[in-house]
Structure 1
């Protein structure tokens, strides 16, 4: 049976969604795919494509590429950009004078004919159709280049088409506001509403050809690449030492965009160029040598890097994720084994390094200047920066999870005349320069390279320096992991149980012998540490996040992921300076983690899949 030219599925709303899609979609591959599903009567797959529209939030969009409103494709890119453009027209008066920037990574999806570059070109066509100047990068770039360009050229907004470290079938749409930071509320809700008000494609939105000939279209690549490297060089403090250094490093871009940019950043620091992993240095959307293109997953992603380092006699491996906004580091130990540093450990090293370099540069002005210095970290990251700040006299602030919060807070502080030296999150994200108000794996790689060369000149390894930091400021032992969970009811059940542990509106007071000293729930806004029991940090009812502090110095946060079907947990044991019994501290943290998993996760564990490394 056909209804309005479409085989009826028996579901009126689904039939209408399919009908509208076929009216709007001009991509022959995705339109043909939908027609084939209708012809085959594949209702289950149609419901996956059209059942739930992608939700636009503070992280923008991220989903699999393919047809339908739940996927990344030409039509959903146009609809999203039309909504974003209309929202900008409403809120920024000089949009048509200042314009926007659009960048993209190297992803592609053969079945739908989708590429990040094509998505970026469609987004540019939408803005140009409304008379808005567009700075569209002509080649793939690291994600940090988009917020850098927004800030550097004082543009109204930025869009980066990337799925970062997600699996190969995914893509994403990341949005920056005029302040150079990722959007936060209420912009996300406003843009989401504007998208729904502008679903029908404007005629010109499909016209990439005309847009490519427009005087409104500019290619910022050469200028921004040069300007970016000049800004990064301001954080080079040991150029003469760099020139003499014989330290050998290996770098992998994990089939992403980072190779060219990291090589150029090392050159800007006069550092010896790192050896590149040949099999992974060029962009490849198939990611053929790794299961997941994410260095955060552990040593398995770096197998080829370790082999190259062993052949060349290199002591350290640096790795970017595919859009080069994050950085991982591994160091060869005297035993011959490779040690993969956690995001918190590299954060401790880079935070220490940025402060030491700034302090040395200040000289006699240090005491007067340090009161205006800030470092930031997300609430689920190590508290090591807090310990350093307490001893050294600068300010440390905690933000909600995600660089959108750190970027916006950094901008506020900079506008107040403060110095923001460093910000990091445990998920291997580092902001070493306020020129980029987001995590930046390119500048972090060059700055880490200089730190490693400096330490080598003192006959000190990265691991030895990390130990020295903990000896001076107190050991901070962390253990983070996650469970995969596709069932929203299970997630709700887990968190509601924690909020009603011993009766309605009661949280656990202990966890298998570990006394709970305080609880902060950033979903409900409760914080037992505050006089009015109200959390200071912003709250969000749309995401789950509870932090437990324990009497022994342990801290544990349980939260849901904003981009993946995961329940994550982050634990840390903070010891006072002088307590250097690492074996005992690790054993105590292991016992605490076991208790948390058994007591807090147990009733729902049958529906949870543990992380598998």
Structure 2
């Protein structure tokens, strides 16, 4: 192995390291230095040992990554619980072994591999390098790999899995996480993210395949010349854009649209794909934010590469929109699977829509256009909309009034994607799906959230409404008047100490004695409690939750006497406890200020009484 890949030919490098005085840790250090062939990550471990950074080493080397709501995700760097060459190779070896058990035709179906633009090439942890190593492991076992030749939106990987009939897909991305992070997202043959039991069994398979099989697993250069490696970019992009037209209902109107749109790709992959999607719908391309349109793994113009943070991270987009007299701002996150939308208010300032508000608009829009083509009310019996359980219940209000079906899933689009697959097998149509964290799917083009298709659908909706002399904000008020106000609040606290999180949720589950949940919140009686971590639901006769039990994360939902529904859950990708509250009012006029006041009161009480932020040194944030 040459210097470019790290080892310098010195097989005794690990012998020069001092002891950490911890035999178990010394063994982990030796194991790392024996297996790792990346110069950068080897040097990290050696310097930590030399500096006596025992706790840092223990944290890095004495635990392993596990699948969360978005796959494997962690900081890049040395360690068995970091994203790096070795852990990517180990993960892919485990994935290969698991796929072999499921697919007798794996050698003909192959796998899809895509990547975003994260990581510095000189550090050896860029997304492109990690994607090539993923491909190298599969190719070393004669498995065909459909490896994209350049960065793509995350939705392109599940789309390609279905289109090409692949056994699985891997996307190297950490989406909107900080620049230090990267990730490994796995899709099953149905195009949906893996869920239980696949995730647990793949982890077990990884544990059984920890030693790199051969030197060829590290040779990313061999990927380029291997005949089993194909580039699906041209075919998949062409098919995606062609099928995208199924979501276009008013092309002639789009061509005449006087509205201007600004788009930010947040230094990620979205620019070229959004430009093409707009042209596919008949629009002039949106105006790109020049400082943010090209990939930049440092995300140099934003404090946080997450458009869900709202106006504070949309500053450059809004300034450009003011300058260009554009009324709508669209922002996709770095891997282009999420979408934020802002609209210039008629008075002054900008309205940045929450995920729940945008879902109300998109849900209405998709049903409105579907209804135009389906006059028979009986057709509704095979129509569905889906949302995660921590998202707004506004689609449920639509379904009750319009006669179609609404279903909730656990948080995470993997649950939605798998449910779409199940429903489609029985001839049903899923019109729209969403999660409140600005993740949307119009139709079922991809069994995952998709910022590219969502952006152009929002543009067409805005164009149509503008032709009717309506803004998005005005239409949202019409929706609330017809279906009832759905006011929601999303907050979170940051907690970097897992034991503190455990302590907080243990206290909630034993609030007034062992096995006793809180009975009030902010002076309002709690009438039902559902705890999907334990499988408990007080609203059901058998006290069992309908949603699947998820013991590896915390999620408790409280239904209050005043109709507010509040949920506390841990994030699967970040060190956060998230808080979701929603007030669902009846159709017709409502005293919005009163509803907002009551909602804020309960939200504040939920944080103060149940999480005790000051006592537990938590940092509060509102979205």
TM tier, smaller: over 0.9
Please list every run of 5 or more consecutive structure 1 residues that lacks an aligned counterpart in the other structure. none
Give 1:603 deviation, angstroms. 7.6
For residue 529 of structure 2, what is the aligned residue in structure 1?
Answer: 519
**Secondary structure at 1:409's aligned position in 2?**
helix
Mapped contact 1:483–1:611 kept (Cα < 8 A):
yes
Paired residue for 1:354, among 366, 369, 377?
A: 366
Cα offset, 1:57, TM superposition: 4.4
Work out the CA distance in 2 between the residues paired with 1:500 and 1:58.
27
**2:564 corresponds to 1:554:** yes
User: Secondary structure in 1 aligned to 2:582?
Assistant: strand
Quote the offset at 1:367 in angstroms.
Answer: 1.4
Written as runs of structure 1 = structure 2, the 5 A alignment for 1:430-469 is 430-469=440-479
| Equivalent runs, 1:333-344 vs 2, <5 Å | 333-344=345-356
1:331 and 2:356 equivalent? no
- Equivalents in 1 of 2:616, 2:293: separation in Å? 41
The change in CA–CA distance for 1:336 and 1:126 in structure 2 (over 3 A counts) is same
Question: Aligned match of 1:529 in 528, 533, 539?
Answer: 539
Q: Answer yes or no: is the 8 Å Cα contact 1:522–1:540 preserved in 2.
A: yes
Q: Contact 1:320–1:441 at 8 Å: present in 2 too?
A: yes
Aligned counterpart in structure 2 of residue 251 of structure 1, from 244, 251, 263: 263
Corresponding residue of 1:156: 167
Preserved contact between residue 521 and residue 535 of structure 1 (Cα < 8 Å): yes
Partner of 2:104: 93
Q: Work out whether 1:228 is the aligned partner of 2:243.
A: no
Matches for 1:380-399 after TM superposition, within 5 Å:
380-399=390-409
Per the alignment, in what secondary structure is the counterpart of residue 288 of structure 1? Answer: coil
Q: Which of 24, 47, 59 is residue 70 of structure 2 equivalent to?
A: 59
Q: What SS does the aligned partner of 1:114 have?
A: coil
What is residue 620 of structure 2 aligned with on the other side? 610
Asked whether the 8 Å contact 2:36–2:86 carries over to 1, the reply is yes
Closer, same or farther: CA 453–110 of 1 in aligned 2, 3 Å: same
Q: Match for residue 75 of structure 1?
A: 86
Q: Tell me, in whole angstroms, the C-alpha distance in 1 between the residues paired with 2:87 and 2:498.
A: 25
Considering only aligned residues, what root-mean-square deviation do their CA atoms show, in Å? 1.5
Match of 1:312 in 2: 324
1:191 is matched with 202
- Deviation, 1:88, is 0.4
Residue 331 of structure 1 deviates from its aligned partner by: 0.7
Structure 1 distance, partners of 2:517, 2:622, is 30
Provide the rounded CA distance (Å) in 2 between the counterparts of 1:404 and 1:227: 23
Kept after mapping to 2: 8 A contact 1:309/1:315: yes
Please report how far the alpha carbon of residue 142 of structure 1 lies from its aligned counterpart in structure 2 after TM superposition. 0.2
State whether residues 487 and 607 of structure 1, in contact with CA within 8 Å, keep that contact through their aligned partners in structure 2. Answer: no
Q: Does the 8 Å contact 1:58/1:185 carry over to 2?
A: no
Q: In the alignment, is the contact (CA less than 8 A) between 1:105 and 1:117 conserved in 2? A: yes
1:285 alignment partner, SS class: coil
Q: 1: distance between equivalents of 2:316 and 2:614?
A: 38
Inter-CA distance 199–282: structure 2 relative to 1 (3 Å threshold): same
Q: CA deviation at 1:497?
A: 2.0
1:271-286 mapped onto 2 (5 Å cutoff): 271-286=283-298
- Counterpart position of 1:8: 19
Q: Check whether the contact 1:65–1:112 (CA below 8 A) recurs between aligned residues.
A: no
CA distance in 2, matches of 1:578, 1:459: 22
Distance 2:26 2:41 in 1: 17
Corresponding residue for residue 301 of structure 2: 289
Give the conservation status (yes or no) of the 8 Å contact 2:69–2:573: no
Residues 411 and 605 of structure 1: CA distance in aligned 2, closer, same or farther (over 3 Å):
farther
Deviations 1:107-133 (A, max 9, x none): 113663221000000000100111111
Give the whole-Å Cα distance in 2 for the aligned partners of 1:245 and 1:332.
17
TM-score, normalised relative to structure 2: 0.96
SS at 1:479 equivalent? strand
Q: Deviations over 1:297-324 (max 9, x none)?
A: 1111110001110011101100000000
